[in-house]
Structure 1
Amino acid sequence: MNNRAGALILVLLFHLLHSSEARQPNVVFVLADDYGYNDIGYHGSEIKTPTLDELAAGGVKLENYYVQPICTPTRSQLMSGRYQIHTGLQHGIIWPEQPNGLPLNSPTLADKMKESGYSTHMVGKWHLGFYKKEYLPWNRGFDTYFGYLTGSEDYYTHLREFGASSKFYLDLHNERGPVKNESGHYSAHLFTQKAIDVINSHKDSKPLFLYMAYQSVHGPLQVPDKYLKQYEHIEDETRRTYADNGGKPIKGGNNFPLRGEKGTLWDGGLHGVGFVAGGALSRERSGKVTTALIHVSDWYPTLVRLAGGHFNGCLPLDGVDQWDTISKGSPSKRLMLLHNIDPLYKKSGAPLYADKFDTSIRAAMRSGSYKLITGDPGPGKWTPPPSTQNQQYNTSLYFCEEPSDVKNVWLFNITADPTEHHDLSEERPQVVRIMLDLLSKMNATSVPVRYPPFDPKSNPALHGNIWGPWE
């Protein structure tokens, strides 16, 4: 995220569960940033990911798994188990200069794991607010923390620009304060070593919960030169760097054959890559693939249940417990999924019906196999990987004119048409009306959007040249 226009984020999410002999399994949850659907080896990518492929092959692949198209909302739903419309984070991300954060009115996933007897640790990217000390990760359920609080920074210097000032300030912290001695240490290597240190120092008296949120492969595209050599055959320089270092094509990621990209409501901005592996799964589940509908908010109740915890003190959850679906192959308890309703996003076109949800508002949801999109979903192109464009694919099929400003309703059967080629909104108006009613009911439960103006007091120059709380 090295500029305002590049602030949107697609998340690859995968996680590893390692059991211990105790009833409560150790949990290592790994989240990679800006990772596209076509950026993992087992989806046919030219990028080789043998370790991830091996882990996924021995676990359960989640092939109907959804996250949010940008960063803060995905992380907020992971940590709260609640939709954006119920936390006020419906619009955009939390910028470093904003006095904003994941609301304090409900315990985080880390809080609940700690309450269940876990030792809780986080390494990597927070991006859930830090303008007050109460919002810092070590005050939100994590015993230890090592990482950065903003949304992006230099991989080597760990500096982040303040606005458009061309002045950069340190954003690297642990639970004891700023970390000033790691300049030059590439963040992927640094965070990996810190995670290994957490595991090696863990005492068996408690089960372990480690949340590992990599900076990779988010922009800026930076990678040690030695890793570029194995991808010399990729002609596109951005893609070649990304391969080592998503879904954001101009930043090297790729979602093909899905439509759209990071920041959009097409499946290329929402459909994540995920798998579960480890000893908490039975041997019978090794190598399985599930197409059950699973959402990032589901990890909250799934992991709390797995930890033997309870939901006392929680506000109503939107996530559902998916452990039986993952570990036994049971049908998913999730039949519907709200992608988002964003009332602050610029409206598009006129409402389709006077007595239904306003279709000029940017929103999207799933009900069974159907997906409805309203408003302006963002760029809807299909983009083959740069190294293979015009070689393997019929580009006339995958490159099309963008929708006009007048159209603001799309309906797809994602099961039959996962690449969103066939809009059914005119063929099946009754389905559209039913889903618009569902959107109206969900919208009625929304809380006001939290998107405050930038605060000049956030300037790190006023706080020892370090990003951190200012209130």
Structure 2
Amino acid sequence: MSLLNLSFFLSLLALSSHAKPTSPRAAPHIIHILVDDFGWNEVGYHQPSDTPEDEIEVQTPNIDQLKEEGLELDRMYVHKICSPSRSSVQTGRDAIHVNVQNVHPEVTNSNDPIGGFQGIPLNMSTIAEVLSDTGKYETSFVGKWDVGMATEDHTPYSRGYEKFFGYFHHSNDYWNFNEQKCSLKNIKDLWLHNKTFSGPAVHLENGAHCSQDNQSPDGERCVYEEELLMGSVKQQIKDYAAGDQEKSLFMFWSTHLVHMPLQVPDSYLDKFSDVDDSNRRSMRAMSNYLDTEIGEVVDTLKETGLWEDTVLVFHADNGGEIMTQSCGGNNYPLRGGKFSNFEGGIRVNAIVSGGFLPEERRGKVEDRLFTSSDWLKTYAGLAGVDTDSLSDAKAVDNGLPDYDSVNQWPIISGQGEDDEVAREEVIIGDTTSVEFNGDGDTLVGGLIKGRWKLLLGAKNKLYRISQDVVTSVNYPSKPMIVPELIFRTCSRTLKNACLFDIYADPSETTNVAEENEDVFNEMLARIDEIQESVYSPDRGKKDKRACKVAKDEYGDWWGPFL
């Protein structure tokens, strides 16, 4: 990046309004880091203890340090795919009450002006809106949004975030920002919004020859997208620290890494030249780049003096992608991965750290249940909101589900009793859609209560759940396997049930329904009860106006189109 372009970019990021606060510094800073498709076995602290040091490929020293100095959440559950998990985090709702579909941001259904779009329905409040309404926080979103783009009202800057720098879709190319085509024309996805500017980040476009295979084209700009995102996070922290600091900072950093495509600077690939499989080498390098980013942002928080008053939360949106071995992910020893409701798809790496975390909780492991929906009320509680009475009136008045979130700060901080449980169950979402990014009916695909987990496949898919595989510690495995084509039947009968004791059997190897028939029947009845409450709108189909606006108004860049 030239000095001129860098200066212009940073000046745009710095511009933001600072409304007068009602209660200066009345709450801790919150940095929420949501990592994309980050497998259970992609962190150093999850490597088997008996693995020889020279065989450990994973290099995540900064994330491992966060865990050592923070609190590991060992039972953090999310949805099995990207957009639903993100919808859950942002709205404080279980996926079945907001969105279980991974459809594209261009879909619309004119018959449903509230839910007939991708992601978060209109009239549902978000975590940023709740914190903004307290008058104690200034808010910013950096990275992957993936929960709505159709109108301005679906974007981060209409959902409570004062600043936004990122992209709208499931992913894009890390070098040229391309995501899908319109009439054979590549459309780019990268957007910037602040007080004085809102639109495609055209000024950050790389040269025509910039790519994974050509990272230093002669005379052309060529900057890795993740470097831009991290640069934004660091610069905004520095700008905040240099400002009046009358409000606390809430920053939601949603990394592109380690989502496909498998792209990373050559200098990181070179670190893993001894890894034979090219896809696995790319994933190791991407995870290491992510770790470097985390370290740099933590260092920035410490250098600016913000760390001691910060709650930093780090977790993945779903498990690592292992549908085929070309995906490069690894969730060992958990079964399955992204797109599957086995543990490898929905149980994710999660850490709470920062100077605001009580000292006595640092270095500990918490094994009580957490879900992606819990952060809304947890953060609201930190801001002084009475979370017991917190309700989303805007949603309820429009016939939409209320919050499912529970305030987990007493558990995180150790203020409650050792046997206190904030969350008694985790609802596992599913869909009738047979396409990865298709629309379908919302289903309850399982339930976790304490040590018990019951999975239930979709009837229209013959009750089958894919990726019935536990990969090796250094996946990909030999002989070659295709996890997406390996199924297990999880039905309503004892013989073909999928009831697991996930504390004793984390790899979900043994169905224990026949010897625990009462548990099986009770959980099946509870699934049927919850099914009556699901939110299941028709999201619609791709709207041709999205391409027209992208080409005619934005110059071949994606953005709001209605």
Task: Give the TM-score normalised by structure 2.
Answer: 0.72
Once the two structures are TM-superposed, the CA of residue 193 in structure 1 deviates from its matched residue by 0.5
Amino acid at match of 1:213: S
Once the two structures are TM-superposed, the CA of residue 374 in structure 1 deviates from its matched residue by 0.9
Matching of residues 102-141 of structure 1 within 5 Å? 102-116=120-134, 117-141=136-160
Matching of residues 72-471 of structure 1 within 5 Å? 72-87=83-98, 89-90=99-100, 92-99=101-108, 100=117, 101-116=119-134, 117-162=136-181, 166-175=184-193, 176-182=198-204, 183=206, 184-202=222-240, 203=243, 204-245=245-286, 246-249=319-322, 250-310=326-386, 311-314=390-393, 315=396, 316-328=402-414, 330=416, 331-344=420-433, 363-375=445-457, 376-386=464-474, 389=477, 402-403=487-488, 409-459=497-547, 460-463=550-553, 464-471=555-562
Quote the Cα distance in structure 2 between the aligned partners of 1:329 and 1:411: 33
Amino acid at match of 1:153: N
Quote the Cα distance in structure 2 between the aligned partners of 1:401 and 1:313: 41
Q: Could you say what secondary structure the match of 1:423 adopts? A: coil
Q: Could you say what secondary structure the match of 1:403 adopts? A: strand
Once the two structures are TM-superposed, the CA of residue 389 in structure 1 deviates from its matched residue by 4.3
CA displacement, residues 2-21 of structure 1 (integer Å, 9 cap, x when unaligned): xxxxxxxxxxxxxxxxxxx9
Q: Could you say what secondary structure the match of 2:271 adopts? A: helix
- Contact 2:374/2:404 (8 A) holds in 1: yes
Q: Could you say what secondary structure the match of 2:466 adopts? A: coil
The aligned counterpart of 1:17 is none
Amino acid at match of 2:378: T
Quote the Cα distance in structure 1 between the aligned partners of 2:264 and 2:180: 20
Identity %: 32
Q: Could you say what secondary structure the match of 1:216 adopts? A: coil
Quote the Cα distance in structure 2 between the aligned partners of 1:447 and 1:288: 37
The aligned counterpart of 2:438 is none
**Alignment gaps of 5+ in structure 2:** 1-23, 48-55, 109-116, 207-221, 287-318, 397-401, 436-442, 458-463
Residues 399-408 or 285-294, more deviating: 399-408
- Contact 1:322/1:332 (8 A) holds in 2: no
Q: 1:224 to 1:85 in 2, by over 3 A?
A: same
Once the two structures are TM-superposed, the CA of residue 94 in structure 1 deviates from its matched residue by 3.0
Once the two structures are TM-superposed, the CA of residue 150 in structure 1 deviates from its matched residue by 0.9
- Contact 1:121/1:145 (8 A) holds in 2: yes
Amino acid at match of 1:261: G
**Greater share of helix:** 2
- Contact 1:110/1:142 (8 A) holds in 2: yes
- Contact 1:382/1:399 (8 A) holds in 2: no
Instruction: Find runs of 4+ consecutive structure 1 residues off by over 2 angstroms.
Output: 309-316, 329-332, 341-346, 385-391, 398-409, 425-430, 447-451, 460-464
Q: Choose which of 25, 32, 39 in structure 1 pairs with 2:35.
A: 32
Once the two structures are TM-superposed, the CA of residue 226 in structure 1 deviates from its matched residue by 0.8
Quote the Cα distance in structure 2 between the aligned partners of 1:404 and 1:104: 37
Quote the Cα distance in structure 2 between the aligned partners of 1:418 and 1:126: 31
Quote the Cα distance in structure 1 between the aligned partners of 2:515 and 2:539: 38
Amino acid at match of 1:143: E
Q: 1:421 to 1:151 in 2, by over 3 A?
A: same
Quote the Cα distance in structure 2 between the aligned partners of 1:444 and 1:399: 30
Once the two structures are TM-superposed, the CA of residue 469 in structure 1 deviates from its matched residue by 1.5
Once the two structures are TM-superposed, the CA of residue 449 in structure 1 deviates from its matched residue by 3.1
- Contact 1:35/1:217 (8 A) holds in 2: yes
Once the two structures are TM-superposed, the CA of residue 188 in structure 1 deviates from its matched residue by 1.6
Residues 275-284 or 398-407, more deviating: 398-407
- Contact 1:115/1:309 (8 A) holds in 2: no
Quote the Cα distance in structure 1 between the aligned partners of 2:202 and 2:127: 29
Q: Choose which of 78, 82, 100 in structure 2 pairs with 1:67.
A: 78
Q: 1:248 to 1:312 in 2, by over 3 A?
A: closer
- Contact 2:139/2:250 (8 A) holds in 1: yes
Amino acid at match of 1:270: I
Amino acid at match of 1:328: G
Quote the Cα distance in structure 2 between the aligned partners of 1:158 and 1:111: 29
Quote the Cα distance in structure 2 between the aligned partners of 1:344 and 1:444: 19
Amino acid at match of 2:42: D
Once the two structures are TM-superposed, the CA of residue 401 in structure 1 deviates from its matched residue by 6.3
- Contact 1:34/1:218 (8 A) holds in 2: yes
Once the two structures are TM-superposed, the CA of residue 96 in structure 1 deviates from its matched residue by 3.0
Q: Could you say what secondary structure the match of 1:181 adopts? A: helix
Amino acid at match of 2:320: G
The aligned counterpart of 2:10 is none
Q: 1:199 to 1:257 in 2, by over 3 A?
A: same
Quote the Cα distance in structure 1 between the aligned partners of 2:44 and 2:201: 35
Once the two structures are TM-superposed, the CA of residue 162 in structure 1 deviates from its matched residue by 2.8
Once the two structures are TM-superposed, the CA of residue 345 in structure 1 deviates from its matched residue by 5.1
- Contact 1:124/1:214 (8 A) holds in 2: yes
The aligned counterpart of 2:46 is 43
Quote the Cα distance in structure 2 between the aligned partners of 1:318 and 1:259: 27
| Structure whose alpha-carbon radius of gyration is higher | 2
